[in-house]
Structures are given as C-alpha cells and as structure tokens.
Amino acid sequence: MFNRIRGQLIAAVAPPAIVLSAIVLSVTLRGGDVAIAADDDPKNLTVFPKDISKRELVDTMKQWTQALGVRCDFCHEQKVPGDFQSIDFASDKVGHKDVARRMYTMMRDLNGGPLPKAAGEDDAAVNCFTCHRGLPSPTTLERVVLRAIREKGAEGGVQKYRELRERYYGSGSFDFSSGSLQSVTETLAAEPATLDAALTMARLNLEMNPKFADGHVVVAQILDLKQDKAGALTAVEEALKLDPNHRHAQRLKQKLTK
C-alpha cells in the first residue's frame, strides 16, 4: 500500500531510516529516472530478510532516498565522486549506513506492536517521511533559524528563514505557519541579551503573517520591555484592530495607558 505525499510515493510501512541499508543493489534518482546497478545477489544484508527480492529492495531504496532527499552515496561508499558505477554497496565505510540499520530496527520494533497498540489502530505505522519529510536529518524551522541567529546574529536568522522558505515552502519539510517564528521569538525574548533579535524575528513574522494578532501583541510586549511605550501601544492597537476581543492585547493596553 502506498500513500502519495507531495508527488512522492512513500510506502506506508517503509522504515524511517536515515537511508539505505547495506546492499549491492541501489537506486539513484536522475531527473526522475531510476538507474539501477546490481549484482546477481545482494550482499552484506544485516537487517533485511536474506530472501528479499531484488525488486522489493530497489523499491524500498527508492522510497527512502525520496523521503530524505538524498542519493545512494549518502550511505554507500562512492570511490569516484560523481561516478555511480563506482559505488561499493557492500561496504560499511560510510557511517550513515550503520545509523540506517539501527533506524530500520527501531521502525520494525515500533510498527510490530507498540505503535499500533498505543494508537489503537491495526494499521498504525511510521515511515521515513514521518520524521524526515524530505530532509537528510530530521529538524524543525525553529531549530535551524535559532542556530543561524546564534552563529550570525538576527540578520543571519532572517536570511536563513528566507532561504528555507524559498526552497521548501509547500513541501512539508518545515512548518512555515506563524507559530514557528512565534516560537523563535519567544525563545529569544526570554533572554535580555537577545531581545533585539526577538524583535527582529517578531517583525519578520508579521511581514509573513500581517493578520496575526498574537504577533502584534508579542511586538508590543518586547517594545514595552525596551521601554518604548509609544511603539508598544501602536502594536497593541494593531492587534485589537485584527481581534477586538484579544484579552492579552486588552490587558496590555490598559497597562500602557495607565
């Protein structure tokens, strides 16, 4: 059984591995085409059934590479860069392969009982896309943007956000809803040293989501902390225009107008 997810076929029970287990059979995606290199028999299989068919193995590899947005050499040793024919599929040299094996085992154990039991569904299952969503390493927008801010300051965070939005918007890889930047803002606002960065990210959120009343309230709260009561009041008024019954905005306005 397959589910079509954003133009990709992901097996409903495919393992949530980082990618590719040890094989002498693999798939490389080239402009939507699939090139297959294979010996007569797969070798060095440690987690797949020894009698797995060549077709089943190839299909599984294709699903995994699509789910992670990677190619065969993410887990398999490619002796000549860019040369698919030089890949040694039986080699264990690339560390990602060991991680893939452990992830496969984890998936198999989860889907074999605990997950369906916890979910109350016979067909409950996780797969690669469940966590990776087209990314080699599972992560969140908040984590990536906060890392960029720590390394390059607020403008670095803004730049990283715009880059991610340009590349991934609509793919499901990252959550570009207002809540993600709100979370970034709140994390930064908790420390006086990063209050200015919090304001920058809050304003970016409003640029992307101008009708987000909570976003205006957060801007007001930050400006209040920075002793800019006039600016804070203006932001509160914007929030109340969008949501006249916004309780936090109402209380903040009362505080600012005392």
* Contact (CB, 8 A) for 128 and 67: yes
At residue 36, the 3 state secondary structure works out as: strand
At residue 81, the 3 state secondary structure works out as: coil
Average pLDDT (68-73) is 86
Q: Look up the pTM and report it.
A: 0.74
Residue 226 DSSP code:
T
User: Which single residue is written with the structure tokens 């890392």?
Assistant: 147
Average pLDDT (188-215) is 98
DSSP, residue by residue, 131-152 = HHTT-SS---HHHHHHHHHHHH
Chain center to CA of 15: 17
pLDDT of 121 = 67
pLDDT of 123 = 66
Pick left, alpha or beta for residue 82 (phi over 0 → left; psi -120 to 50 → alpha; otherwise beta): left
* Contact (CB, 8 A) for 217 and 252: yes
Beta bridge mates, 88:
77
Q: Which domains does the chain have, with CATH numbers?
A: 2-132 (no CATH), 141-256 (1.25.40.10)
Q: Closest by alpha carbon to 143, among 164, 169, 172?
A: 164
More confident residue, 258 or 22: 258
* Contact (CB, 8 A) for 180 and 168: no
Distance CA 248, CA 258 (A): 16
Most confident by average pLDDT, 14-23, 40-49, 59-68, 118-127: 59-68
Record the tokens describing residue 14, joined without a space: 């495919």
Is beta strand 25-30 parallel, antiparallel or unpaired with respect to 33-38?
antiparallel
More confident residue, 96 or 239: 239
pLDDT of 55 = 86
What is the rounded average pLDDT for all residues in the chain?
83
* Contact (CB, 8 A) for 202 and 180: no
